[in-house]
Structure 1
Amino acid sequence: MHHIRKPVDKSHNLNWWHFNFFWGLQGITQSGIGLVPALALTGKISGFNHPAVAHFEFMRNQISGGTVDKQILPAPELCLAELKRSDNARALNRVYQSDTEMVHDLAAAYHQIMSDLYRVGARTIQLNRQGLGSQQGCSITELGTQVSREAVRDLPADLCVEWHVTHGTCYSA
């Protein structure tokens, strides 16, 4: 059996992989204390130079024949739900004039990342969406649909984007 060895950034807990992805977006930083991770909005959201693309390339280069063509990402609705948490309201209002502007930037960031992944060989992208609690889920359903539709608009025809809905927590031990 062949093991792939790559240095691991110890500042990111692999059990909260969706936060690791969000923290790779421009304009979002890590916040939260101890075992309760969170994100903080520090500026306009962008997907420029997201580390997921380099991680995909690294894995693809490790596989004989370069057969890796699928990447799994947390769905943009999860990031939207975190951005809409009450702790982020002040930062949201400071950075964005409207939900429409924020949703557009988040969708554009995801579109950029998926386009970059396609450029380096990904042909299937799975967006994992966790079932949100009923109160939170109802409040962002419309914005979540908007961000998802906008994120996948005009991607290459041979890029398959799949949604996977999980019913548990994103935490994986």
Structure 2
Amino acid sequence: MSIHSHSHSHSCASSAAASAKPPFRFDVVGSYLRPEALKKAREQFAAGRLTQAELTQVEDEEIRRLVAKQKELGLKAVTDGEFRRSYWHLDFFWGFDGIEHVMMEQGYLFHGEETRADSARLTGKIRYTGHPFIAHYRFLKETAGEEVIARQTIPAPAQLLAELVRGVNALEVERIYPDREELYRDIAAAYRAAILAFYEEGCRNLQLDDCTWGMLCDPSFWSAMAGVGYDPAGLQALYLRLNNEAIAGLPDDLTVTTHVCRGNYHSTWATSGGYEPVAETLLGGENVSAYYLEYDTDRAGGFEPLARVSDGKRVVLGLISSKTGELEDKNAIIARIREAERYLSSDRLCLSPQCGFASTEEGNILTEDEQWRKLELVKEIAEEVWGE
């Protein structure tokens, strides 16, 4: 740390304290494009040509490099890029007792593309008795050091429920949890235990990634998932309850946020529709301190729902697209931030890409250079708009 920045940090300690908690004006959602060396190592591991220890060594190396790059860029919260995962959500689910890795007949149908067909299915009651992600977090925390926040991203409890009842998976739910209430209690309890284990490792910033709300905004997608005659209001209430129960009564110095998107797989998307249908439940009722909201295309609708954000919670506007390498027009983005300020005051707004750059290991269709240029643009705009 240079002398200059050190003395500077003292002089504005009081204002720094106010902005020392995430989200930050210049922020990220969390996943990054997998470097070539990592992709190659994972292929070799899958083919049985690398041991787990050798793969872990490559992962460690690439995560160290990624963290250094994020710090150099000036991010106050860094992630491990989800470099040890294949999926943003499934790898986490597979870490619980009572859940197995299965292959479905087909993957999720995205706009113009079908995802790989992996899924998570019940084999018994859901329990937390330890989880591989805890050691992954420990490594990130050590690598990040003290001057930045090591952020942990995990899929939301609602997302786990949505996966467990998807297609034929639902049959196992019927068999193992004839009493659905017990299932909901077990999901919340397993999540709480996992979150507290991250906390014990020093985690103070946890992000719940949650596509369920995006699905609920899109009647056509949801009827395909849930069948005709489903009750969207009932589902909203259930998702809210699951997420809130999982994060109830956590330590005060743990900041929990959520990220809501409409699917992000190899630069394609799954759902569209504005936030209106879920604004009251999600933005008014979920007990997180901030929302990372997809807003990079008109598929996300207008900013009016931001008026429903309750209790001084903050919103990170995902106005920069992680799906394409083309750089946005700075003035157009600033104009959109000004538009959002009509519904939520400027001091409660931040900026980030609308999603990670690689929700699955395939990654979106842009280069690593383009990925970093996008983040430089977010930073530049944030400094211009908020002066920080």
Q: So what's the TM-score if we normalise by structure 2?
A: 0.40
The residue aligned with 2:258 is 163
Show structure 2 runs of 5+ residues with no match: 1-54, 60-83, 107-115, 216-220, 227-231, 266-358, 364-388
Q: Could you tell me how far 1:166 is from its partner in structure 2?
A: 1.3
| Structure-2 separation of matches of 1:17 and 1:77 | 14
Q: Could you tell me how far 1:64 is from its partner in structure 2?
A: 3.9
Identity %: 33
Q: Which of 101, 106, 110 pairs up with 2:182?
A: 101
Q: What is the aligned length?
A: 167
The residue aligned with 2:151 is 70
1:95-139 residue CA offsets vs partner (Å, 9 max, x unmatched): 113221101101111101111101110001010111223334836
Instruction: Indicate the larger mover: 27-36 or 108-117.
Output: 27-36
| Structure-1 separation of matches of 2:204 and 2:145 | 17
The residue aligned with 2:103 is 32
The residue aligned with 2:191 is 110
Tell whether the 8 Å contact from 2:149 to 2:204 is kept in structure 1 after alignment: no
The residue aligned with 1:41 is 122
Show structure 1 runs of 5+ residues with no match: none
Q: Structure 1 66/114 Cα, relative in aligned 2: closer, same or farther at 3 Å?
A: farther
| Structure-1 separation of matches of 2:98 and 2:166 | 16
Q: Structure 1 64/151 Cα, relative in aligned 2: closer, same or farther at 3 Å?
A: closer
Instruction: Point out the structure with the larger strand share.
Output: 1
Q: Could you tell me how far 1:91 is from its partner in structure 2?
A: 1.1
List aligned pairs for 1:72-151, cutoff 5 A. Answer: 72-130=153-211, 131-132=214-215, 133-135=221-223, 136=225, 138=232, 140-151=235-246
Q: Could you tell me how far 1:67 is from its partner in structure 2?
A: 4.3
1:33-90 residue CA offsets vs partner (Å, 9 max, x unmatched): 5921111100111122011111100222233448443211111111110111231222
CA RMSD, Structure 1 to Structure 2 (Å): 2.6
Tell whether the 8 Å contact from 1:107 to 1:148 is kept in structure 2 after alignment: yes
Q: Structure 1 102/118 Cα, relative in aligned 2: closer, same or farther at 3 Å?
A: same
Tell whether the 8 Å contact from 1:26 to 1:47 is kept in structure 2 after alignment: yes
Q: Looking at CA atoms only, which structure, 1 or 2, has the larger radius of gyration?
A: 2
Q: So what's the TM-score if we normalise by structure 1?
A: 0.84
Counterpart of 1:28, as a letter, is: I
Q: Is it true that 1:60 corresponds to 2:132 in the alignment?
A: no
Structure with bigger RCO (C-alpha 8 Å, 6+ apart): 1
Q: Structure 1 113/66 Cα, relative in aligned 2: closer, same or farther at 3 Å?
A: farther
**What is the SS of the residue equivalent to 2:130?**
coil
Q: Could you tell me how far 1:169 is from its partner in structure 2?
A: 2.9
| Structure-2 separation of matches of 1:157 and 1:164 | 20
